[in-house]
Structure 1
Amino acid sequence: MNRITQTTRLDRVEHILGSGTGTLDFAIEGQTAYHTWEGEEDDNWDVQGIDSIKNADEDRFLIYPEGEYFMCEIDVDRGVVRCRCDE
């Protein structure tokens, strides 16, 4: 697991594993470990271009893109995550 501690952009996100507590794990193509953002429940997430959302287990869920990947921008200081389908 790679913790996201500064503002960053993630390309080629295959899926997002999220939780109701505010944690988002980003699966990047070709990498075995998730990139993890430990946000808060009231942080601002905006994910566009969703193909499907599936329950993973308990309070965890998987978000899959309409296209091949998501592109996600994470602003750690403001608690903002913006993802869109990257075709």
Structure 2
Amino acid sequence: MHEDLSIAALPFMAGLLCGLVIFTFTMCWTLRDYEPQETAGDLFQAETAGDDEDDFREFIIKRLVESSAFRAKLVNGMALLHETHPKIYAQVMRK
């Protein structure tokens, strides 16, 4: 009798495990869409809106003077910001 119960429990346990795997997969798949997407414009605006504006400006000026690669990246980034988020670009340029 004990062997009959263990044989009957095996499909039940397999179904339970399969259902748990499917449930976990679907929850991960659906919840990944709800994560907030941060754009470059959001990050740049958050960085410039910080309390330490003087430190940020000093850092930018120092990096612009020292690195030509940084200058190129900054120019490309500002061009991209101007194309994708003109309102944020205008706020940044006013500062």
Same fold, judged at TM 0.5 (above): no
TM-score with structure 1 setting the length: 0.19
| Higher Rg of the two aligned structures | 2
TM-score (norm 2): 0.19
Greater fraction of residues in helix: 2
Greater RCO (Cα-Cα under 8 Å, separation 6 or more):
1
